[in-house]
Structure 1
Amino acid sequence: MSPGTDLSEFLTESERGVAEWVFKNNKHAGATTNTLPSAKCLYMSIRGTGGALAVAAIVTKNREKPEAFEKNFMVAILDECGLALEKEMTVREKQAVEERAHQETLRANLLRAISHDLRTPLTSISGNANILMEGRGQLCQEKLQALYTAIYDDSMWLIDLVENLLSITRIEDDKLGLKTQPELLEEIFQEALQHLDRNASQHQISVELEDDLLMANVDARLLVQVVINIVNNAIKYTPEGSHITLSAHREGDQVEVEIADDGPGIDQDAKDRIFDMFYTADKKRGDSRRGLGLGLSLCKSIINAHGGTIQAVDNHPQGTIFRFTLGAVEETNHE
C-alpha cells in the first residue's frame, strides 16, 4: 500500500465488525479465509498467553491467499508483537499495583500523621477553653491574653492544615483543576501577605519586583497558597527580626520567583528531602506539632502542576532561598 492511499474503505463498520470477531474468538478471518470472506482485509489476532491482545489487518493483493511461507512469516511477526505487547502490559500492571500500594501507604501515613497531630492542638484548645470557663474573674489580663493567643494559634494551625489536606487530596485524586490565567505577581504577593502567620509582624518582610506589571499564567488561588506556605515556613524557622524578601523576574519564557530569608539556613541533607511529604527539617522544636510536613510538599505539587520547578538553595551570606518557575505571559507591544 503506497503512502497517501485512501484508507476509508478499510474503516467501515463491517470491517470493524470482522476485527471485533477476530479479537473475541482469537481466530483469523476476513479476506482469503472461510470466515467472513467478504471483508476487504485479512484479519489476524496478535496472541498472548491469555488470548488475543490485538488484531492486525492485512491488505491482500487481488484477494490472493498468502503462500504458506508468507503466512508463517506473518504469524511469526505477530507472535513477536504479542510477546512485546504482553511484556508492556505486564510492566504497566506492575506499575499500577505499585502505584496503588504507594497510594495506600500514603493514605495510611497521612491518617496516622493527622490523627496524631490533630490531637495536640485540639487538646490544647479544649484545655484552655476549660480554664477560661472555670476561672472567670480569677485570671489576670496577661493570663487571659496568653490563653486567647494559644487558642487562636491552634485554631489557625488547624485551618491551615485542613486547607493543605484538601489541596493534597485534590492532587492525589487528580482533581486539582487548574484554572490558569494571566495574573500580576504584585497582586499575588500582596494577597498572600494578607494571610500570613500572626508572628509575621516580628519579621521584616518586603517585596522586590523589577517590573510592577510582571505577569505569569497561574491559578491565582493555588499560587497564593504556595507563597503563604513558603513565607510562613520562613517565619517559623528564622529568628525574630529576620528579613524575608519576595522577588520575581522574567527569564525568557518563564518567570522566576524567589522567597529569600537571612535565617540560619538549611543543611544539604534537609534540602534534598524538604519537599517530601511528612518531612520536617527541625524535629526538635517545642511546637513540633506544627511540623506535619505537608506545606512544602504541597508547594512542589502545585508548582509541578503548573509545569514549573521548585528548589531550595543557599542564600549568601546566610539563609535560604526558595526558587520556583512559572510560565510567563507573552509580552505584547501596544503602540
Structure 2
Amino acid sequence: ATTQNFPKAKRLYLAIRTGQQIYGIVGIPMEKQTQPDAFTSSVLFSLLGECALALDNLRNAREKEEAAVLAKNEQLRANLLRSISHDLRTPLTSISGNADTLLHSYDMLDEQTRKQIFTDIHDDAQWLTELVENLLSITKIADGSVKLRLSDQVVDDIVSEALRHIDRRSTEHHITVDCGDVPLLIRVDAGLIVQVLINLVNNAVKYTTAGSDICITAIQQKKAVEICVSDNGPGIPDELKERVFEMFFAGGNPIGDSRRSLGLGLTLCQAIIHAHHGEITLKNNSPHGCIFSFTLPLSEVNLNE
C-alpha cells in the first residue's frame, strides 16, 4: 500500500531489521492509500527498531549459549580423551606385562606367584569392564534412551544383591547393613539402583584404609526412602564437596588407587537417581568420614496385601 508496487495492496509492509539482518515483516492495515503522517511514522519506526534490537539481543544470547554448550562439549570430549589415554594406560600395560610373564615364564613361577598374577589381570580387566559400562550408562541416561524398568522391590534385597558384586577388597573393611525391622518397598529399576550402591560402596572401600567401618542404612521419609552409605574414613574437604558429582573429577585422594581415577561412578549415580526423580547428596560423617545419601520413591503397594 501507498507505493507504486502492488498499489491495490491493503497493507503497508515494513521490515523488522538491523543492518542486513531481517527478523520479520510487519503488515499494517491501510484503509486509505496514503502514507502515515510524520509523527505516526516516527513512532512506528521507533517501535520496529526496538523490536529489531530486542530480537538481535535474543539472537546474540542464543548464539553465546550455543557456543558455550559447544565449548563445554569439546572440553568434556578433551577431558575424556585425556583421562582415558592417561588412566587406561596403566591397567592395559599391567595386563599386557602380566600376560607376557605367564606366556614366557609360566613354568619358572611358583603357584602363589601365578595366582597373584592371575588376580592382578582379573582386577585390571574388571575395572576396564566397569569403566565401559559406566560410560555407556551415562551416555544412555543423558540422551534419554534408557527406559526405566520400574518394579516394586524390597530395599533389603537390593542391598544384598549389591553386596554380592562389590570390590573384593571389601573383605578388609567392616560392612554393616541396617534397613530397619519393617521391610521397605520402593518403586525402582532394580538393576540401576544396584549399580548405584555398588559404586558408592566401592568408593568407600577405595578411599578408606583397611579396617574402616562402612554402614548402609535405609529409613522411610514420608513417601520416599532414604538410603545412606557412610564411612569413617578421612572424608572429603569442604571445598571439593560441590565437585564430587562432576564427570572426571576424582578428588586426588592419595588413599585411593591413583590409576582408577576417571571419576565416572558418582556422575552415573547422580544420573540414575535423578532419572528416578530422587536426590543424592554428600555430607560429613561424625567425627570424620562421608555420608552419601539418596532418596527413592516409596511403592504404593502394601506388603501386607
TM-score when scaled to structure 2? 0.82
- The answer to whether the 8 A contact 1:203-1:243 is kept is yes
Structure 2: state its 5+ residue gaps: none
User: Compared with structure 1, are the counterparts of its residues 325 and 333 closer, same or farther at alpha carbon in structure 2 (3 Å cutoff)?
Assistant: closer
Determine if the alignment matches structure 1 residue 167 to structure 2 residue 118.
no
User: Compared with structure 1, are the counterparts of its residues 244 and 141 closer, same or farther at alpha carbon in structure 2 (3 Å cutoff)?
Assistant: same
- The answer to whether the 8 A contact 1:303-1:310 is kept is yes
User: Compared with structure 1, are the counterparts of its residues 84 and 317 closer, same or farther at alpha carbon in structure 2 (3 Å cutoff)?
Assistant: same
C-alpha displacement at 1:154, in angstroms?
A: 0.6
Determine if the alignment matches structure 1 residue 100 to structure 2 residue 70.
yes
- The answer to whether the 8 A contact 1:308-1:324 is kept is yes
Give the aligned CA root-mean-square deviation in angstroms: 3.2
Determine if the alignment matches structure 1 residue 234 to structure 2 residue 204.
yes
Determine if the alignment matches structure 1 residue 215 to structure 2 residue 215.
no
Distance in 2 between residues matched to 1:50 and 1:230, nearest whole Å:
56
Distance in 2 between residues matched to 1:125 and 1:250, nearest whole Å:
45
Q: Which residue of 2 aligns with 1:89?
A: 59
Distance in 1 between residues matched to 2:59 and 2:200, nearest whole Å:
41
Residue aligned with 1:248, SS: strand
Match of residue 111, structure 1, among 81, 100, 117: 81
The worse-fitting range, judged by mean Cα deviation, of 322-331 and 222-231 is 322-331
Match of residue 146, structure 2, among 170, 174, 177: 177
Spell out, residue by residue over 1:283-333, the C-alpha distance to the aligned partner (whole angstroms, 9 max, x if none): 535831012222122322333344433221111233210012334445679
Determine if the alignment matches structure 1 residue 251 to structure 2 residue 221.
yes
Spell out, residue by residue over 1:135-165, the C-alpha distance to the aligned partner (whole angstroms, 9 max, x if none): 2232212111111111111111111111122
Match of residue 196, structure 1, among 161, 166, 170: 166
Match of residue 257, structure 2, among 273, 281, 287: 287
| 1:24-39 to 2 correspondences below 5 Å | 34=7, 37=10
Determine if the alignment matches structure 1 residue 321 to structure 2 residue 277.
no
C-alpha displacement at 1:110, in angstroms?
A: 0.8
C-alpha displacement at 1:244, in angstroms?
A: 2.0
> Residue 213 of structure 1 aligns to which amino acid in structure 2?
L
Distance in 2 between residues matched to 1:74 and 1:305, nearest whole Å:
50
> Residue 159 of structure 2 aligns to which amino acid in structure 1?
F
Residue aligned with 1:240, SS: coil
Distance in 1 between residues matched to 2:51 and 2:302, nearest whole Å:
51
Distance in 2 between residues matched to 1:334 and 1:43, nearest whole Å:
72
Q: Which residue of 2 aligns with 1:121?
A: 91
Residue aligned with 1:289, SS: coil
- The answer to whether the 8 A contact 2:209-2:255 is kept is no
- The answer to whether the 8 A contact 1:186-1:214 is kept is no
Determine if the alignment matches structure 1 residue 296 to structure 2 residue 248.
no
Distance in 2 between residues matched to 1:76 and 1:327, nearest whole Å:
55
C-alpha displacement at 1:101, in angstroms?
A: 1.0
User: Compared with structure 1, are the counterparts of its residues 89 and 215 closer, same or farther at alpha carbon in structure 2 (3 Å cutoff)?
Assistant: same
Q: Which residue of 1 aligns with 2:234?
A: 264
TM-score when scaled to structure 1? 0.76
C-alpha displacement at 1:171, in angstroms?
A: 4.9
User: Compared with structure 1, are the counterparts of its residues 85 and 303 closer, same or farther at alpha carbon in structure 2 (3 Å cutoff)?
Assistant: farther
User: Compared with structure 1, are the counterparts of its residues 295 and 334 closer, same or farther at alpha carbon in structure 2 (3 Å cutoff)?
Assistant: closer
Match of residue 243, structure 2, among 267, 273, 278: 273
- The answer to whether the 8 A contact 2:166-2:201 is kept is yes
- The answer to whether the 8 A contact 2:150-2:189 is kept is yes
C-alpha displacement at 1:199, in angstroms?
A: 1.5
Structure 1: state its 5+ residue gaps: 1-27
> Residue 321 of structure 1 aligns to which amino acid in structure 2?
I
Distance in 2 between residues matched to 1:254 and 1:36, nearest whole Å:
65
C-alpha displacement at 1:94, in angstroms?
A: 0.4
- The answer to whether the 8 A contact 1:256-1:325 is kept is yes
C-alpha displacement at 1:193, in angstroms?
A: 2.1
> Residue 184 of structure 2 aligns to which amino acid in structure 1?
L
- The answer to whether the 8 A contact 2:228-2:291 is kept is yes
